[in-house]
């Protein structure tokens, strides 16, 4: 099984993580207060922070892990 962190480019600001051979899932809150779970496609460095790329309403969006998603 594949575990660990793998970098997607030479500069090292995009990466994917695998836990027990699968990408981790994150739970987000929507503006209505509903909890939704999304799989991280990849992570990207954003200054001193990191954003996660997820699929939301058929589009790939980059959000912070604690961000509230719009309905």
Rounded CA separation 36/44 (Å) = 21
Q: Residue 15 has what pLDDT?
A: 96
The helix or strand, by DSSP H or E, that contains position 43, with its residue range, turns out to be strand 42-46
18-70: per-residue pLDDT in tens? 999 999 999 999 999 999 999 999 999 988 999 999 999 999 999 999 999 99
CA–CA distance from 31 to each of 28, 37, 61, 70 (Å)?
Answer: 10, 14, 16, 6
Nearest to 63 by CA among 54, 35, 12, 11: 54
pTM of the model: 0.89
Nearest to 38 by CA among 49, 53, 51, 50: 53
């Amino acid at each position: 099984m594949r575990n660990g962190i793998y970098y997607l480019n030479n500069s090292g600001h995009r990466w994917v993580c695998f836990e027990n051979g699968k990408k981790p899932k994150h739970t987000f809150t929507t503006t209505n207060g509903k909890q939704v779970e999304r799989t991280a496609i990849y992570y990207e460095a954003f200054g001193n922070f990191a954003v996660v790329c997820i699929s939301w309403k058929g589009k790939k969006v980059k959000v912070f892990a604690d961000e509230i998603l719009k309905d």
